[in-house]
């Protein structure tokens, strides 16, 4: 599975004259995953008024991945301490702290042309762990492969 994902990330939709007869045609890489516990069909959903948390807590919705114990208790303490050492922005019911790019709570968007402070090292380490986690890569890769063909045109021409 690792190899299949790596191959797709590296080669899908790229022109690789070394392995194609017609250099202008991009390579297409597809793979299938054997369905496991985390990828099973979602159970029938319940309706709002009938929601009981204990009934639905184990129901996974399409595209949601939940990974328990992603950080240790020691890492948790260290990450919270790192946050506590910074200046936060107070909102109505909570406070926020941002790195990389600023999300504006007024227009609900980011200005991707204006970077702010980079991630402090302990937070970057978690980002790297997320990026290299197999379950996350499988979930993202699955959605990309399931897009209808008409959207490919949208991606290419807009």
Partner 1 sequence: MPDIDQLTLNDYPPGAGIGSHIDTHSAFEDGIASLSLGSSCVMVFIKKGRSVPEQDHPTGPLSKAVFLPRRSLVVLTGEARYLWSHGIPFREADLNPEGEAVPRSRRISLTYRKARGWPCACPYRDVCSTPEVGEEGES
Closer CB to partner 1, residue 27 or residue 123? 123
Q: Give the shortest CB-1-to-partner 1 separation in angstroms.
A: 16
Q: Which is nearer to partner 1, 9 or 23 (CB)?
A: 9
**Residue 26 interacts with partner 1 (CB under 8 A): yes or no:** no
Using CB under 8 A as the binding rule, whether residue 7 contacts partner 1 is answered as no
Pick 36 or 158: Cβ nearer partner 1: 158
Query: In angstroms, what is the minimal distance from the CB of 68 to partner 1?
Result: 5
Q: Which residues, at least 6 apart from 15, have a Cβ–Cβ distance to it below 8 Å? A: 23, 24, 25, 26, 27
Instruction: Say if residues 37 and 59 touch (Cβ distance below 8 Å).
Output: no
- 86/67 Cα distance (integer angstroms): 27
Candidates 12-20, 22-30, 31-39, 46-54 — which segment interacts with partner 1 by CB under 8 A? 46-54
Return the number of the residue (25 or 130) whose C-beta is nearest partner 1: 130
Q: What span, in angstroms and rounded, lies between the C-alpha atoms of 79 and 75? A: 6
Using CB under 8 A as the binding rule, the residues of this chain from 59 to 118 that contact partner 1 are 59-73, 76, 79-80, 83, 88, 93-101, 103, 108-110, 112
- Total Cβ atoms within 10 A of residue 44: 6
User: Which neighbouring-strand residues pair with 103?
Assistant: 110
Of 21 and 151, nearer to partner 1 (C-beta) is 151
Cα angle 38-39-42, degrees, rounded to a multiple of 5: 100
């Amino acid at each position: 599975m690792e190899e299949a994902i790596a191959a797709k990330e590296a080669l899908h939709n790229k022109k690789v004259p070394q392995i194609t007869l017609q250099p202008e045609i991009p390579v297409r890489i597809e793979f299938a995953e054997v369905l496991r516990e985390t990828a099973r069909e979602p159970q029938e959903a319940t309706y709002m008024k009938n929601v009981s948390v204990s009934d639905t807590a184990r129901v996974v919705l399409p595209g949601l991945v939940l990974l328990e114990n992603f950080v240790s208790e020691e890492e948790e303490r260290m990450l919270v301490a790192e946050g506590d050492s910074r200046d936060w922005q107070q909102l109505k019911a909570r406070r926020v702290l941002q790195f990389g790019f600023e999300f504006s709570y007024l227009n609900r968007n980011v200005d991707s042309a204006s970077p702010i402070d980079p991630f402090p090292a302990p937070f970057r380490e978690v980002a790297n762990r997320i990026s290299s986690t197999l379950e996350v890569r499988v979930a993202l890769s699955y959605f990309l492969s399931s897009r209808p063909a008409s959207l490919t045109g949208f991606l290419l021409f807009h």
